[in-house]
Amino acid sequence: MPKAQVTLTPEESKRLIARAVARLPEVRSALRRGTVVICLGTTNAHVVEEITGRPVDRRRFAAGVVLPRGTCVTPREDRLREVVLVRGKRVEAGLDDVLPRLGPRDVVIKGANALDPSWTAGVFLASETGGTVGRMIGTVMARGVRLVIPVGLEKLVPGPIREVAAEAGIHVFQHATGVPVGLIPISGKVITEIEAVEILTGARAMAMG
């Protein structure tokens, strides 16, 4: 069986993952007869473009970013809003507007900041009340809303995220490079480059280096 070795930049990986997310059966079903919420995030900016076919200002489609100066929060006035699609059409609403109505036929797409070897995803929390995850995770998990987690392998970490999360917290750190953050594990369908290759081509992929 032929094999290929492929090198991807983080930006190329984000686009690959986004194309796979747009092809997921649960996402396509929700676009036909339910609601899809695409939360802010650098990978999710590509997801928005793949699903809607329209460009988005990727610098503003993020609540927080990790830069050379550390963990940073995007000023609220500079951020775009989450993208909400009801039966495939974008509506002027945000997560808080549709959250009370979400159910098992609906999908929330939320990126992650970390991924451990057990494929547990983790999200940084720079808000005192947990930000987007704090607002939605209880409702999503209680109602069986489909949670899709696009995350590149560049965010793979060696240790168990649940153990790291127990040691983190905004008020735990006395010093921080950038803004101090907490970390929360989240459960859902993780889509990395590995799953993306299989979804888009049927081929089996492995991370090589």
- Averaged over successive runs of 10 residues, the pLDDT of the chain (209 residues) comes to 95 98 98 98 97 95 92 92 97 96 98 98 96 96 98 97 98 96 98 98 96
Whether the CB-CB separation of 39 and 110 falls below 8 Å is answered with yes
Q: What is the pLDDT of residue 206?
A: 97
Whether the CB-CB separation of 150 and 44 falls below 8 Å is answered with yes
Rounded distance between C-alpha atoms, residue 164 and residue 95, angstroms: 28
- Rounded to two decimals, the pTM is 0.96
Residue with the two structure tokens 């965010």 = 155
